[in-house]
């Protein structure tokens, strides 16, 4: 997930990424696909294939997304990379201001196939919010169900347009008809979020409070 001055309910967010070559030989990489969450007008932006970037041994390069449509620039979205050898990718999301937050973003190494999946390491408190970022890499609309705790009480269903990313804020989960209670401890214990989709996708969870944030990948998509 990449972002540049993305407005949110609690401020504006940036996500900065670096590609690092850990090898003693050159490595090339290229941004092969961009799945936008938000765009902005850019009269000078022209559509073109992302260039192949060569990293010298031990080299580091900031990741820059290409223009995705003529006259549009990317404000936020998911990026897909192709590399000639395994690389390290360092991603950090930052909310600036009086309550600045710095959030490390792990990088998925593959897509989730259609069916059921879960994130077992999400965190949640009543003072924060839980955002789910869903990326649809296909050329058809994706239908996704997601829920915390009991599916019967808490299921949220959304559709994601082809080749885009969508963000969904999950409501406070309900238990027996009333809001669930959670232990008042810090850090909070892990909370499971379940997904079910009718096509290939990626879903990640971002838990944000006024003072901290945690980003979690699905169990079946390893960052290593």
Per residue in 98-115, pLDDT tens? 677 888 888 998 999 999
Task: Report whether 215 contacts 106 (CB < 8 A).
Answer: yes
For 195, the domain range is: 115-216
CATH number of the domain enclosing 173: 2.60.290
pLDDT of the residue at 81: 94
Instruction: Please check whether residues 9 and 98 belong to one and the same domain.
Output: yes
Instruction: Please check whether residues 97 and 123 belong to one and the same domain.
Output: no
Mean pLDDT computed over 142-148: 97
pTM of the prediction?
A: 0.90
State the Cα–Cα distance between residues 59 and 20, nearest whole angstrom.
Answer: 6
Tell whether 221 is covered by a domain. Answer: no
Please count the structural domains in the chain: 2
Tell whether 224 is covered by a domain. Answer: no
Q: What is the pLDDT of residues 183-208, one digit of tens each?
A: 778 888 899 999 999 999 999 999 98
pLDDT of the residue at 22: 97
Instruction: Please check whether residues 123 and 145 belong to one and the same domain.
Output: yes
State the Cα–Cα distance between residues 82 and 93, nearest whole angstrom.
Answer: 22
154 DSSP 8-state letter: H
Instruction: Please check whether residues 151 and 76 belong to one and the same domain.
Output: no
Instruction: Please check whether residues 6 and 96 belong to one and the same domain.
Output: yes
Instruction: Please check whether residues 30 and 72 belong to one and the same domain.
Output: yes
């Amino acid at each position: 997930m990449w972002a540049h001055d993305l407005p949110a309910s609690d401020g504006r967010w940036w996500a900065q990424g670096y590609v690092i070559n850990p090898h003693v030989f050159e490595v090339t990489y290229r941004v092969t696909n961009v799945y936008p969450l938000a765009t902005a007008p850019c009269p000078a932006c022209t559509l073109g294939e992302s260039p192949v970037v060569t990293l010298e041994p031990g080299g580091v390069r900031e990741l820059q997304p290409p223009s995705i449509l003529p006259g549009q620039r990317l404000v936020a979205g998911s990026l897909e990379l192709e590399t000639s050898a395994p690389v390290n990718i360092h991603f950090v999301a930052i909310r600036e201001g009086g309550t600045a937050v710095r959030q490390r973003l792990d990088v998925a190494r593959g897509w989730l196939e259609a069916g059921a999946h879960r994130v077992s390491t999400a965190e949640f408190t009543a003072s924060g919010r839980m955002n789910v970022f869903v990326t649809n890499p296909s050329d058809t609309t994706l239908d996704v169900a997601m829920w915390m705790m009991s599916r019967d009480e808490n299921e949220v269903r959304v559709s994601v347009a082809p080749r885009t990313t969508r963000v969904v804020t999950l409501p406070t989960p309900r238990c027996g008809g009333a809001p669930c209670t959670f232990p008042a401890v810090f850090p909070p214990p892990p909370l499971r979020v379940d997904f079910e989709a009718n096509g290939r996708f990626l879903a990640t969870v971002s838990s944000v409070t006024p003072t901290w944030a945690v980003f979690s990948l699905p169990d079946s998509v390893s960052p290593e």
